[in-house]
Amino acid sequence: MAHFIDENFLLKNETAKRFFFGTAKDLPIIDYHCHLSPKAIAEDKPFDDIARMWLEGDHYKWRIMRANGTPESLCAGDGPWEEKFVAYASALTKAAGNPLQQWSHLELRRIFGISEVLTPHNALKIREEANRVLATKKISPRSLLEQFNVKVICTTDDPIDDLHWHKAIADEQRAGSAFQTKVLPAFRPDKAMNTADIAAWNTYVDALGKSAGIEIGSYAALAEAFARRHAYFHAMGCRLSDHALLVPVFMPASESELDAIVQRARSGTVLSASEQAKLMTAVLSLLARLNAQKNWTMQLHIGALRNVNHQLFKAFGPDVGGDCTSDEPIIAPLAAFLGALDSERKLPKTILYSLDPAKNNPLVALAVSFTGASPFESGAKGSSRASGTMQVQVPGNVQVGAAWWFNDQKDGMERHLKEYASVGLLGAWVGMLTDSRSFMSFPRHEYFRRLLCNTIGEWVEAGELPDDPLYTESVVRAICWENAASYFGML
């Protein structure tokens, strides 16, 4: 028990300890993709119950609780919080190898100073102690962001959002607030690309048109609405878009075809599979071009097969733990999409995520194919190899994002690091994010940094990497902080 999450947790060699304690441990955080509530940050109400902080809306935890036979009333349901907390503690005792077991205890230590191992027998006592700490320290969303030295967080926001809470925070900061973490929106237009439910799509497009101040009856009007909302988000500090794709599509269409598709859809006609693919291709390509124009980063989250448990979805809606990994092919259409944008010189900075770990190696190989400068000068007729001119791009212009969702655990992170390093350029990578709805999740950055330092330390001690700061400490610092700071341009 003495060795459970001690100071050398996950650091298996002396070199790893040197890298972590000497370089990584106290670096600031840029959490460039999360699902935190800007309203909660603006209002900054102190938390009063660890059970609610941990278990409200957290489908990661609900999944292992269900697997442990916990009744649904204590998962997504409205059962008593004390019973939910004990039920989660019970599930943790059977969660050997699951990241929640380590994350939860790391959060208990870092946020509450509690090192006791959580069990069903002491759960209520630990809850009482944690709640006493919450009350004594007045722990709130902002205090947690400050405690973990978070310089920037990017929330996930619909294009129709007026960003009221982001504006309230920014106005307060301009007026001299002591709270200076940048809270920026990220553009998530998935609902405009999902035409499978044509009634829901039309309802959404009505709202999009209203927010943009335009009537949408053609593809040109749809594009204009997106351009206006994109410009508004940019003015509010947004520098990233985010898109969930089960499978990337690439089926280009002429503007006249797209107009006909939009008109059919607006009339309530169910679109064919090819019409859906053409409209999705057009919208995604449009947004990519807008991103390139404004120097935004495009994130593509690929391969989440959602709401496979229909009864769960019917009872509680999406994002409650009824999702899994798709194994459909993704590389060919994605390569065509990126290649078309690159040929136009409109390929934005892009981060690719795959929920299927089998896709990581080919995805890194694909990303590295588009990381260099374009070999063509704008307006030139020949290759830059003849003219000697090149378009300058940022390092890692297209890259693969952090191990995502079901891969966001020790083996997944280590596998991701090694595959990225073996096929791509690890030192140009922008590193970790939380992708979380919980303000308690920032110790995951520490978890990742320990694994990063241990992996590089293993290479050094095996004689596979020079023990030179240019090859080691500088890479650790870049991945944990510097690359994200320069890549996203939000500081």
Q: What is the 3-state secondary structure (H, E, C) of 66-98?
A: HHCCCCHHHCCCCCCHHHHHHHHHHHHCCCCCC
Q: What is the pLDDT of residue 391?
A: 42
Torsion from C-alpha of 77, 80, 85, 86, nearest 10 degrees: -110
Domain boundaries, the chain: 1-32+34-45+141-185+430-491, 47-139, 193-210+243-424
Would you call 299 helix, strand, or coil by DSSP? Answer: strand
User: Comparing 1-32+34-45+141-185+430-491 with 47-139, is the CATH topology the same?
Assistant: no
Q: What is the pLDDT of residue 393?
A: 67
Q: Which fold has domain 1-32+34-45+141-185+430-491?
A: TIM Barrel (3.20.20)
- Select from 281, 276, 326 the least CA-distant residue to 301: 326
Q: What is the pLDDT of residue 98?
A: 96
Give the chain's count of helices (H) and strands (E). 22, 9
Residue ranges of the chain with per-residue pLDDT less than 50? 376-392
Q: What is the pLDDT of residue 388?
A: 39
Q: Which fold has domain 47-139?
A: uronate isomerase, domain 2, chain A (1.10.2020)
Q: What is the pLDDT of residue 3?
A: 76
d(CA 393, CA 486): 12
Would you call 226 helix, strand, or coil by DSSP? Answer: helix
Torsion from C-alpha of 279, 285, 289, 291, nearest 10 degrees: 100
Q: What is the pLDDT of residue 384?
A: 39
pTM above 0.85, yes or no: yes
* Cα–chain center distance at 290: 20
- Which CATH class, in words, describes the domain spanning 193-210+243-424? alpha beta
DSSP 153: E
